[in-house]
Chain A
């Protein structure tokens, strides 16, 4: 499988290099869909220039990157394009390896359940075979590298690529089973942008499953392992934050990075839901609504954990999607990360109900973003409502996509244990309805 992967990587690198050299690079770099105030490349350059002039980059409201990014780019700023291409390749390779291992785990689990007779007799067509699972890792890498969203994000040199690669390494470490590395990468991901905190739950569930520790609230080993993992995670987070203090000898970065993510002061339009709301809100309501919106991101973790405790990797996928829809400054790079996972659930295709409409919605909205931006900002014949409408539609499309996959997954699980031909008590055909 190495050769096709190398081919895919080469193709991706060529596409990116070609775009870097073309005139589209400057145009893409300033698009708000790929460059948000948190991860725009312009701001990184500005922050480093301020540092060269002897001023702390956090003193204004421009720079919102973490000190480790300052350290990384201080030495690599001339090779920025190469760095971003390598980051994308690393993400793809990490996802490839992770999904390869995950497939092995799924297959092993499936075999175990078949031998234990947990499956209904007539579900042979639902069982995944190694043949069809063989090309999934390659497809994942392909989906990530050649996704137009990823390509545009890379050409715009948005540091979202670095976020994505840290999350990908975290997923790799989790699926490989190393609690220590998983905690370290999760701490790094949380340190970068606050929201991967919610990925703690699926990672914990996966590692518990791997250690064969049953998830019962009364079980001592459950709490022991949870405490171990949580302490590893928190300690590494504290160590990284304290280390960042020593870069500039100040705690300025905490309000600039985390305060900025949580309080959303910058209302530049992006593909998210925050900017329009807060632009038209009265001042004395804004604190309340900021809290509501931020809780909304973290809110789905516990119900999903309860429902999906047997399927932590799917939980991780859904959680990633929720983060990239509801975070305060989403960009297309975040969308690309969870879309890379879609080939893993390709066996759910027969249960997806709205996939055609949703893919049309997503594609059309992606094309309408620049059109309505031009009409609003340059032509002046539209206003922010138009752009926000497309943002809303895009996010609704994403939410419906995720809920469609969620429903399809649960449906398949139900069919696996109860058989494909469901009958009611009087023998007529029954319909499965999600309540």
Chain B
């Protein structure tokens, strides 16, 4: 009996194990395309935008312009077109009279990489880079005369990359040596963007001293933020070039650029790798990041979700039938609506009438009472002066 019971239980156990294994295999098999499908639908964005801001002017802030242009170069290389990039540079380093190599901006000493190529499109230049313009770009509250290249025309399916660099402090970032933007303002601007559905997900990168203070106040969903240094730390510059005479880049952005140079449009590198860029040993400051407002797991967020403009293309070899339950679809609508005539455009007011419709000008006329009163007075004066008896001579 002891031998018979173990055999049936063993058989049962083996059958259960087999079933489990089959189930797992099936789940794994089925879960493969499902995972892929989830991956396909998970990021949820259909277009990419980038707002790249360099806030400092003067020749010795060369590195901030080089920072911004490096990110611009990467973003453009990975597929975001100029029409979707708002590039704000507060000063012109390439054509600065102090630039010994005019029309170039180098990011590495020994002039290995010129980030100012032939096709750099600067949208906001020089004194146009102000806090007001930056906030107007973000929130979309722009005068109607602004050209398209200066607008952030994002919608609720846009992933936006916002990169800012310059001089900052605890809670603020300096613009143009004369004004500053605070972290509260920035957080409110992002909230406005969220309420107006101007972004799907937002990646905010800042490379300034005490940069982490700038993302402390964010409270809108779907924002991920990276900064080059914590509160109380300074972000340091990388190397000076003795030929040009200034520091060419900041450390954090230098290593980010190195990291991004290895990314190509199809790479699957995720955000967690970006968080590891520039450890304290290389950067001297401690880079920080904030992901609590972000709904997806950073592990699942691709770098190209923000830095590139990757179109989701699914190649399939099987034919899909598109005729679904048409009858069921139509029955949702009540019969009466189908009975009305479909509206045709031509039945509206002719365009000429719409365009030239002005309020009809009513000519002003003096009120009748006034005219009556005036002429009555005039006639009274006349007759008082000349007497009624003259009437027959007048008429």
Cβ of A20 < 8 Å from any Cβ of B? no
Cβ of B20 < 8 Å from any Cβ of A? no
Task: Give the distance in Å from the alpha carbon of A239 to the alpha carbon of B376 in the complex.
Answer: 12
Chain A: minimal CB distance from B24 (Å): 82
* Chain B residue contacts of A243, Cβ below 8 A: 370, 373-374, 377
| Contacting residue for A239 out of B361, B367, B371, B377, CB 8 A | B377
Interface centre among A68, A239, A243 (most CB of B within 10 A): A243
Cβ of A54 < 8 Å from any Cβ of B? yes
Cβ of B147 < 8 Å from any Cβ of A? no
When each residue 339-368 of chain B gets 1 if its CB lies under 8 Å from chain A and 0 otherwise, what string results? 000000000000000000000011111110
Task: Give the distance in Å from the alpha carbon of A249 to the alpha carbon of B369 in the complex.
Answer: 11
Q: Determine if B370 and A51 form an interchain contact, defined as CB atoms under 8 angstroms apart.
A: no
* Chain B residue contacts of A178, Cβ below 8 A: 385
Cβ of A46 < 8 Å from any Cβ of B? no
Cβ of A181 < 8 Å from any Cβ of B? yes
* Chain A residue contacts of B364, Cβ below 8 A: 51-52, 54, 74
Which range holds the interface residue count of chain B? 10 to 19
Q: Determine if B361 and A53 form an interchain contact, defined as CB atoms under 8 angstroms apart.
A: yes
Cβ of A289 < 8 Å from any Cβ of B? no
Cβ of B389 < 8 Å from any Cβ of A? no
Cβ of A246 < 8 Å from any Cβ of B? yes
Task: Give the distance in Å from the alpha carbon of A180 to the alpha carbon of B386 in the complex.
Answer: 11
Q: Determine if A54 and B362 form an interchain contact, defined as CB atoms under 8 angstroms apart.
A: yes
Task: Give the distance in Å from the alpha carbon of A180 to the alpha carbon of B381 in the complex.
Answer: 8
* Chain B residue contacts of A52, Cβ below 8 A: 361, 363-364
* Chain A minimum-CB-distance residue to B363: A52
* Chain B residue contacts of A247, Cβ below 8 A: 366-367, 370
Cβ of A71 < 8 Å from any Cβ of B? yes
* Chain A residue contacts of B384, Cβ below 8 A: 180
Cβ of A38 < 8 Å from any Cβ of B? no
When each residue 7-34 of chain B gets 1 if its CB lies under 8 Å from chain A and 0 otherwise, what string results? 0000000000000000000000000000
| Contacting residue for B381 out of A51, A68, A181, A246, CB 8 A | A181
When each residue 175-193 of chain A gets 1 if its CB lies under 8 Å from chain B and 0 otherwise, what string results? 0001011001000000000
* Chain B residue contacts of A184, Cβ below 8 A: 381
* Chain B minimum-CB-distance residue to A173: B385
Task: Give the distance in Å from the alpha carbon of A243 to the alpha carbon of B380 in the complex.
Answer: 15
When each residue 311-347 of chain A gets 1 if its CB lies under 8 Å from chain B and 0 otherwise, what string results? 0000000000000000000000000000000000000
Chain A: minimal CB distance from B358 (Å): 11
When each residue 252-287 of chain B gets 1 if its CB lies under 8 Å from chain A and 0 otherwise, what string results? 000000000000000000000000000000000000
Task: Give the distance in Å from the alpha carbon of A260 to the alpha carbon of B136 in the complex.
Answer: 43
* Chain B residue contacts of A249, Cβ below 8 A: 367
* Chain A residue contacts of B369, Cβ below 8 A: 246
* Chain A residue contacts of B363, Cβ below 8 A: 52
Chain B facing A: main interface SS: helix
Q: Determine if A71 and B366 form an interchain contact, defined as CB atoms under 8 angstroms apart.
A: yes
Chain A facing B: main interface SS: helix
* Chain B residue contacts of A71, Cβ below 8 A: 366, 370-371, 374
Interface centre among B361, B364, B373 (most CB of A within 10 A): B364
Chain A: minimal CB distance from B374 (Å): 6
Chain A: minimal CB distance from B384 (Å): 6
Task: Give the distance in Å from the alpha carbon of A52 to the alpha carbon of B364 in the complex.
Answer: 5
Task: Give the distance in Å from the alpha carbon of A249 to the alpha carbon of B364 in the complex.
Answer: 13
Chain B: minimal CB distance from A264 (Å): 30
* Chain A residue contacts of B370, Cβ below 8 A: 71, 243, 246-247
Q: Determine if A246 and B367 form an interchain contact, defined as CB atoms under 8 angstroms apart.
A: yes
Chain B: minimal CB distance from A235 (Å): 11
When each residue 62-77 of chain A gets 1 if its CB lies under 8 Å from chain B and 0 otherwise, what string results? 0000001011001000
Chain B: minimal CB distance from A19 (Å): 31
Task: Give the distance in Å from the alpha carbon of A181 to the alpha carbon of B384 in the complex.
Answer: 9
Q: Determine if B373 and A246 form an interchain contact, defined as CB atoms under 8 angstroms apart.
A: yes
* Chain A residue contacts of B371, Cβ below 8 A: 71
Task: Give the distance in Å from the alpha carbon of A243 to the alpha carbon of B370 in the complex.
Answer: 7
Chain A: minimal CB distance from B380 (Å): 10
* Chain B residue contacts of A68, Cβ below 8 A: 374
* Chain B residue contacts of A74, Cβ below 8 A: 364-366
Task: Give the distance in Å from the alpha carbon of A239 to the alpha carbon of B362 in the complex.
Answer: 30
Chain A: minimal CB distance from B379 (Å): 13
* Chain B minimum-CB-distance residue to A245: B370
Task: Give the distance in Å from the alpha carbon of A239 to the alpha carbon of B377 in the complex.
Answer: 9
* Chain A residue contacts of B365, Cβ below 8 A: 74
Task: Give the distance in Å from the alpha carbon of A63 to the alpha carbon of B119 in the complex.
Answer: 57
Chain A: minimal CB distance from B248 (Å): 50
* Chain B minimum-CB-distance residue to A249: B367
Task: Give the distance in Å from the alpha carbon of A77 to the alpha carbon of B377 in the complex.
Answer: 23
Task: Give the distance in Å from the alpha carbon of A309 to the alpha carbon of B371 in the complex.
Answer: 40
Chain B: minimal CB distance from A245 (Å): 9
Task: Give the distance in Å from the alpha carbon of A181 to the alpha carbon of B364 in the complex.
Answer: 32
Task: Give the distance in Å from the alpha carbon of A173 to the alpha carbon of B244 in the complex.
Answer: 93
* Chain B minimum-CB-distance residue to A54: B362
Chain B: minimal CB distance from A201 (Å): 23
* Chain B residue contacts of A54, Cβ below 8 A: 362, 364
Task: Give the distance in Å from the alpha carbon of A52 to the alpha carbon of B363 in the complex.
Answer: 5
Q: Determine if A180 and B385 form an interchain contact, defined as CB atoms under 8 angstroms apart.
A: yes
Q: Determine if B385 and A181 form an interchain contact, defined as CB atoms under 8 angstroms apart.
A: yes
Task: Give the distance in Å from the alpha carbon of A181 to the alpha carbon of B365 in the complex.
Answer: 29
* Chain A residue contacts of B377, Cβ below 8 A: 239, 243
Chain B: minimal CB distance from A421 (Å): 49
* Chain B residue contacts of A246, Cβ below 8 A: 367, 369-370, 373
Chain B: minimal CB distance from A23 (Å): 32
When each residue 158-180 of chain A gets 1 if its CB lies under 8 Å from chain B and 0 otherwise, what string results? 00000000000000000000101
Task: Give the distance in Å from the alpha carbon of A178 to the alpha carbon of B382 in the complex.
Answer: 12
When each residue 106-148 of chain A gets 1 if its CB lies under 8 Å from chain B and 0 otherwise, what string results? 0000000000000000000000000000000000000000000
* Chain A minimum-CB-distance residue to B376: A243
Task: Give the distance in Å from the alpha carbon of A247 to the alpha carbon of B370 in the complex.
Answer: 6
Chain B: minimal CB distance from A253 (Å): 13
* Chain A residue contacts of B381, Cβ below 8 A: 180-181, 184
Chain B: minimal CB distance from A239 (Å): 7
Given contacts A54-B364, A243-B377, A249-B367, 20 further A-B contacts (CB under 8 A): A51-B364, A54-B362, A70-B366, A71-B366, A71-B370, A71-B371, A71-B374, A74-B364, A74-B365, A74-B366, A178-B385, A180-B384, A181-B385, A239-B377, A243-B370, A243-B373, A246-B367, A246-B370, A247-B367, A247-B370
Q: List 12 A-B contacts (CB under 8 A).
A: A51-B364, A52-B361, A52-B363, A54-B362, A54-B364, A71-B370, A74-B364, A74-B366, A178-B385, A184-B381, A239-B377, A249-B367
B-side interface residues toward A, CB under 8 Å? 361-367, 369-371, 373-374, 377, 381, 384-385
When A and B form their complex, which 8 residue pairs have the shortest distance between CB atoms, in order from nearest? Answer: A51-B364, A246-B370, A247-B370, A243-B373, A71-B366, A181-B385, A52-B364, A246-B369
A-side interface residues toward B, CB under 8 Å? 51-54, 68, 70-71, 74, 178, 180-181, 184, 239, 243, 246-247, 249
